[in-house]
Structure 1
């Protein structure tokens, strides 16, 4: 009876097609999903992981139109998926991706399986880092001053990848008779080593932490929505939620994909011949691209046909000169925050200003170009609603809108 193989992220492939051992003999594999399955698997890894995600990362870093903030954890996660796509396609790059292709060398197979050993741990840690970072940014019971230093967060996924890859090399080069290197239908895998159990336990613990953090994010999202709804009903004001909860909402949507991965693992346990888990792993880059690459700033950065018009707009449009001391008309100023603090209205012209302080702060400010007679007084009070206690307070406005309870400027857009 053959042993279960250690494969790409926690998925155990079936019998091998080609087997390397001391005799380097070839064994037939009765399970062949078909050419279409392999083509789809290669397509997802090649197009999504090694083409689309690099484009997204370049947009994050270099585009002047993408007003992105807090990039490091998100870019880190994208790079993790890019690396997984490259590692998965080593046989494809060598021209030996199909079962009928020539047998890959033992060194190439050893390199691929050792790299794939660390892919799932790297994935899980990268997702945990991003979830933890958003969890801290929204102020979900975690003071920002206690946040883990960013360099450690950035290095954690790669440190885990290197550690498991080194362990994979040691396991592949061991002299134990029960350890075998096999060329499976999709990639090379290691069979018969207990390191696979350690990897599964590690990933399970990390995923448990991710789920707990996402539950807290979901609670914050619900409380924000409830506070905004109650404030609108009590004040009869026209409230625009804007994009205050978009980062949290995107993280929750991505959490559904993580939950789908747990279902795929269950499917693999009961049906080892199912191709669904392999397709799930290969499509990870596509999901990341769709979830985090469709926010408004990124889409605007990719709208190259509008760049020329945006550059010409300031010089081609003339506005009437503003009054010497134009009044401010405040339509509404409703805040839901996790800290009792004072806010002040910024000076803007025909713009909506939003500051994020753990929950939602919705401010709609309009500066009139023409003087209004008599001047409209500026409201000097605001409604502050605590998202955890549901208490209300009326407070005069004081400090800058762009600062948080920790005294640091909060970004206008996270992703």
Structure 2
């Protein structure tokens, strides 16, 4: 592949581009690699009772942030010429990021939110029926916990195989912006359809939960369910808006979409770290 095939929409030697890159890396590092692991550790080791689905789904964003900052470990700011950028694009770090970040992450995030809402639906249903709730079977819980990671692995394998095939045929397109991305129309279409269908089903599930809670008399359990639905709905709307920005950026590139998506780990942290029992666990000196 010739170096001229790599677009230069993002210039590392420009002041604005350098600041954008720093913001992208800081957002992923602070929220995804520091705050979210602290939150997950709080759920795991502190006296904060949470269903296993919540910490596992929150931990999905930790590898995403690690992948998003891979070029930081390769010292991205040193590559400011066409030749050096071409060498970076062919480096193992860039190719790994291209295969594992752009196509696999959106399906994983969509499935993770769907799993959260499905768990919330089961919780609301059990709390509002006179029948005693059955303990979920281990295989069902395991399937829910693994679903986002399965989606990630499937799309990562597809992206890797397609990228290897395109490189072998000399038609691979790797774009270097805030991160390395592998462009392939086939995978992009499948990813968009899959993610869209999952989000539509998730929206319907959120609507059903909202309608059920709306017709309930207020109570302690119902109030907790409403608070959980509020948090998950905000996260759902935030992710959907991010996906819309990504679609728009395909036709008119702007780093806004990538920076917006980089804020998702921080949003997840703020939403699920705000309950009083979590804050109380952190204020151990009181």
Superposition TM-score tier, normalisation by shorter sequence: 0.7 to 0.9
- 8 Å Cα contact 1:45-1:283 kept in structure 2: yes
Aligned residue for 2:125, secondary structure, equals coil
- For 1:116-127, list aligned pairs within 5 A: 116=101, 117-127=103-113
Q: Return the offset for 1:288.
A: 0.2
Pair 1:221–1:266, CA change in 2 (3 A) = farther
Change (3 A) 1:200 1:243: closer
Displacement of 1:112: 1.2
Which of 160, 168, 173 in structure 2 is aligned with 1:169?
160
1:260 matched to which residue of 2?
241
C-alpha distance 83-254 of structure 1, shift in aligned 2 (>3 A): same
Change (3 A) 1:114 1:209: same
C-alpha contact 1:73 1:126 (8 A) present in aligned 2: no
Tell me which residue corresponds to 1:246. 227
State the shift of 1:265 in Å: 3.9
Asked if 2 retains the 8 angstrom alpha-carbon contact of 1:178 and 1:192, the reply is: no
Residue 252 to residue 221, structure 1, CA distance change in 2 (3 Å): farther
Q: CA deviation at 1:208?
A: 0.9
Do the aligned partners of 1:120 and 1:203 also contact (CA within 8 Å) in 2? Answer: yes
For residues 347-401 of structure 1, what are the alpha-carbon distances to aligned partners after superposition, in whole Å with 9 as ceiling and x for unaligned? xxxxxxxxxxxxxxxxxxxxxxxxxxxxxxxxxxxxxxxxxxxxxxxxxxxxxxx
The aligned residue for residue 3 of structure 1 is: none
Question: How far apart, CA to CA, are the structure 2 residues paired with 1:127 and 1:93?
Answer: 30
Comparing 47-56 and 274-283, the one that deviates more: 274-283
CA–CA distance in 2 between the matches of 1:82 and 1:263? 23
Superposition TM-score, scaled by structure 1 size: 0.59
> How far apart, in 2, do the equivalents of 1:73 and 1:241 lie?
20
Per-residue deviation, residues 21-49 of structure 1 (Å, max 9, x unmatched): 2x456756155452222111111111101
Q: Could you tell me how far apart the structure 2 residues matched to 1:201 and 1:242 are? A: 35
Tell me the secondary structure at the aligned position of residue 152 of structure 2.
helix
Aligned length: 269
Counterpart secondary structure, 1:189: strand
Query: Residue 63 of structure 1 is aligned with which of 29, 46, 53?
Result: 46
Gapped runs of 5+ residues in structure 2? none
Matches within 5 A, 1:315-326: none
Q: Which residue of 1 aligns with 2:95?
A: 110
Q: CA deviation at 1:280?
A: 1.4
What is the Cα-based RMSD across aligned positions, in Å? Answer: 2.9
249, 254, 264: which one aligns with 1:274: 254
- Do 1:88 and 1:187's aligned partners in 2 also have CA atoms closer than 8 Å? yes
**Structure 1 CA distance for aligned equivalents of residues 205 and 244 of structure 2:** 19
- 1:246 Cα offset (Å): 2.1
* Aligned with 1:134 (options 116, 120, 124): 120
User: 2:28 maps to what in 1?
Assistant: 45
Q: Which segments of 5 or more consecutive residues in structure 1 lack a partner in the other structure?
A: 1-20, 230-238, 307-415
Question: Which residue of structure 2 aligns with residue 291 of structure 1?
Answer: 271
TM-score (norm 2): 0.83
Local SS of the residue matching 1:34: helix
CA separation in 1, counterparts of 2:100 and 2:221? 48
Distance in 2 (alpha carbons) for counterparts of 1:107 and 1:128: 33
Are positions 1:29 and 2:15 aligned together? no
Q: How much has 1:97 moved relative to structure 2?
A: 5.2
On the 8 A contact 1:214/1:255 being kept in 2, the answer is: no
CA distance in structure 2 between the partners assigned to 1:240 and 1:135 by the alignment: 13
Superposition deviation, residue 218 in structure 1 = 1.8
Q: Which has the higher helix share?
A: 2
Q: Is the 8 A contact 1:221 1:249 kept in 2?
A: no
Moved more, 184-193 or 126-135: 184-193
Greater C-alpha Rg: 1
User: Following TM superposition, by how much is the alpha carbon of 1:84 offset from its aligned partner in structure 2, in angstroms?
Assistant: 0.4
Equivalent-residue separation in structure 1 for 2:134 and 2:125 (angstroms): 11
